[in-house]
Chain A
Amino acid sequence: MGLLKLRIQRKSTGIHESSGDWLFLSLNTLFLLVILLVVLYPIIYIVSASFSDPAAVTAGEVTLLPVRFTLIGYEKIIQYPTIVQGFLNSAFYVGVGSIVNVAMTILAAYPLSRRDLPGHKLLGAIFFFPLLFSGGLIPFYLVVRDLGLINTRWALIIPTALSIWNVLIAVSFFRTAIPEELFEAAQLDGCSDFQYLLRVVLPLSGSIIAILFLFYGVWHWNEYFNALIFLRDQSLFPLQLVMRDILILGNMDMNMLTDIEQQVIQQALKEQLKFTVLVVSTLPVLLAYPLVQKYFVKGITLGAVKG
């Protein structure tokens, strides 16, 4: 199959392309270039504004490239205590949260993937049903409140300890990627289910573990709503919630950045800092992105195959 495909592609990349096809391919390339432009432009604009002179930003002079290049926004941002604190908090939620998530997901997905487990269909239905129906925001909030998790770090970890979608993806992986013969052989050797999971399945599951860490990690880094409803103290806020205050509500205490006095410059800098915050907060994800992109694609494709 693969060979055949290769041959066709080689054939069609040759000079055999008819003039109509040539036109079509050119238009197609043009179309994709326009799409690229539409996707890239806002990103370039935001990045350029973050490196531009604050006065140029508020005057609307930035259209594509940085105007009067400066790093002042970045110098100021690392002095802004709540952003630094938010960064550290987010790192905690991503780190601890993802470890809990991945452990829980494997604990759930491995047994569910075993078709010889009596009741695996019923258990699967119990896991699946909450995707279709939920009690809603308020009853969920009341459970978290009654457990005393409000305004603690655990409020962002325990109530979201498991994503059912990711369990489905992991079940699909265990069913397709681990050969059943291995289990039969291990069982003949007197291997228990615990041992089999630890010594045979997990060492073969590197890719799904990577996928799960990425899914959960990005989710934790980007999440703000649970923090909004569960946390009160600013000292616990993840970066996204700090950013919401700055970007959406426009709350930025410029007095925290002492050395600037002139009102006009302060005002301009305030606007420019918003661009800087956007860049800084997205940087960790976008830096890792080229390396991990293929795992995401793999994870999504895995999710589409019903286990």
Chain B
Amino acid sequence: MNFINKSTTRTISEISDRDTASAVRKNGIRYLWSKMRRRWQLYVLLVLPLAYLITFHYVPMLGAQIAFRDYSVRDGIWGSEWVGLENFQRFFDSYLFERLVINTLALGIFTLGAGFPIPIILALSLNQVRTQFFKKSVQMIIYAPYFISTVVMAGIVIQMLNPRFGIIGQLGEQLTGRSTNLLADPTWFQTIFVGSGIWQTAGFATVIYLAALATIDPSLHEAAVVDGASRFQRIIHIDIPGILPVTTVLLILNIGNFLNIGFEKVLLLQNPMNTSVSEIIDTYVYKVGLASQTLDFSYATSIGLFKAVIALLLVVSANYIVKKMGQEGLW
């Protein structure tokens, strides 16, 4: 109650101030202040989310300085000894460096290259279906795997590939004549990872393309039909150009984001036999920092930071390119 009274008196004093305020309008700070004061309730709403953001996003950014220190539990983040770039140097000199970078790049590029075109083809194909019931049913079914958890997805892969009773495992045995566990075979890991990823997400990824296809002006199709264009020709000359802007933006943004591979699934599908291809930067950070006998927070943080900086550069350049093309970027 008190609050309301106070704010009403404030408004009254503001009104009396207004004449003088307009005289010093060039001193915009005061004007801004009065505008902000009028909206104080909105700032109050933001207090909790901002507190969360600072604690769990910005404080860790400051905490990343331990990449340049030799972190010890006793001295903490701010007290541990500075070591400059020593941790980074150690990583670059490590025999694992090259392998981790190559594995990360390979998995990212493979995921993007194989995974990106499929939703587009699916959307173009779905868009041609005339029976609404069939279209809706297909959509419903191909979206479904998206809602399966990473653990279940990995479980399905492991069960299907089981060399003894898994359906793909058995098939492999019949084809090659010997019992093989594909998950223990480094040459198959990337295919399994990317394939299961496409199975899980390609359907749902059609959503955006279908939305874009729905915005294409129907009169274009009508005119093409009058001119005797076949359905296939209309896809090539109307549908594809129609979704091209969305596709380009998504492609560039995906390129900017391609280092962020679903490492939680990599971790689940990893085993000692396939680490030569399945060990990527993110899984290594987890192992060094949180899941080994001798935890090395500083070293793990420096590896993570190395990736985060490259990822940031990629996204910023991707966004720059999108904007240069005259499209709306991420910001």
The answer for the CA separation of A13 and B225 in the assembled complex, in Å, is 13
The answer for the CA separation of A159 and B54 in the assembled complex, in Å, is 11
The answer for the CA separation of A118 and B39 in the assembled complex, in Å, is 8
Check if B1 is an interface residue, CB within 8 A of chain A.
Answer: no
The answer for the CA separation of A1 and B129 in the assembled complex, in Å, is 20
Most buried by A among B66, B170, B204, B207: B207
Check if A285 is an interface residue, CB within 8 A of chain B.
Answer: yes
Q: Which of B13-21, B108-116, B272-280, B301-309 touches A? A: B301-309
Check if B197 is an interface residue, CB within 8 A of chain A.
Answer: no
The answer for the CA separation of A152 and B212 in the assembled complex, in Å, is 45
User: Given known contacts A32-B138, A42-B156, is B36 in contact with A161 (CB within 8 Å)?
Assistant: no
Contacts of A127 in B (CB 8 A): 49, 53
The answer for the CA separation of A49 and B199 in the assembled complex, in Å, is 20
The answer for the CA separation of A4 and B218 in the assembled complex, in Å, is 7
- Are A138 and B304 in contact, with the CB atoms below 8 A? yes
Interface residues of A in 88-137 (CB under 8 A from B): 104, 107-108, 110-112, 114, 116-119, 123, 125-128, 130, 132-137
- Are B142 and A9 in contact, with the CB atoms below 8 A? no
Check if A234 is an interface residue, CB within 8 A of chain B.
Answer: no
The answer for the CA separation of A35 and B119 in the assembled complex, in Å, is 12
Instruction: State how many angstroms separate the Cβ of A136 from the closest Cβ of chain B.
Output: 3
Contacts of B187 in A (CB 8 A): none
Closest to B122 in A: A35
Interface residues of A in 36-88 (CB under 8 A from B): 36, 38-40, 42-43, 45-46, 49, 57-60, 62-63
- Are A278 and B155 in contact, with the CB atoms below 8 A? yes
- Are A36 and B141 in contact, with the CB atoms below 8 A? yes
Contacts of A224 in B (CB 8 A): 149-151, 264
- Give chain B's interface residue range (CB within 8 Å of chain A): 35 or more
Instruction: State how many angstroms separate the Cβ of A209 from the closest Cβ of chain B.
Output: 16
Check if A281 is an interface residue, CB within 8 A of chain B.
Answer: yes
- Are A134 and B46 in contact, with the CB atoms below 8 A? no
Interface residues of B in 10-45 (CB under 8 A from A): 32, 35-36, 39, 41-43, 45
- Are B211 and A304 in contact, with the CB atoms below 8 A? yes
- Are A159 and B56 in contact, with the CB atoms below 8 A? yes
User: Given known contacts A45-B160, A107-B49, A132-B316, is B152 in contact with A300 (CB within 8 Å)?
Assistant: no
User: Given known contacts A4-B218, A25-B130, A45-B167, is B225 in contact with A12 (CB within 8 Å)?
Assistant: yes
Q: Which of B152, B165, B225 contacts A59 (CB 8 A)?
A: B165
Closest to B49 in A: A108
The answer for the CA separation of A257 and B225 in the assembled complex, in Å, is 67
Inter-chain CB contacts under 8 Å: number: 270
Check if B99 is an interface residue, CB within 8 A of chain A.
Answer: no
Check if B268 is an interface residue, CB within 8 A of chain A.
Answer: yes
Check if B126 is an interface residue, CB within 8 A of chain A.
Answer: yes
Closest to B267 in A: A225
Contacts of A253 in B (CB 8 A): none
Contacts of B164 in A (CB 8 A): 58, 60
- Are B141 and A42 in contact, with the CB atoms below 8 A? no
- Are A136 and B147 in contact, with the CB atoms below 8 A? no
Contacts of B43 in A (CB 8 A): 111
The answer for the CA separation of A235 and B253 in the assembled complex, in Å, is 41
The answer for the CA separation of A221 and B148 in the assembled complex, in Å, is 10
The answer for the CA separation of A85 and B48 in the assembled complex, in Å, is 32
Interface residues of B in 137-179 (CB under 8 A from A): 138, 140-145, 147-152, 154-156, 158-160, 164-167, 170
Which 10 pairs across A and B sit closest by C-beta, in order of nearness? A139-B63, A135-B60, A136-B304, A222-B149, A108-B49, A139-B60, A247-B155, A193-B41, A60-B165, A130-B57
5 residue pairs A–B, Cβ–Cβ below 8 Å: A25-B231, A116-B39, A141-B290, A162-B52, A297-B207
Known pairs A138-B285, A306-B328. 5 more at Cβ < 8 A?
Answer: A29-B129, A118-B32, A128-B331, A243-B151, A286-B147
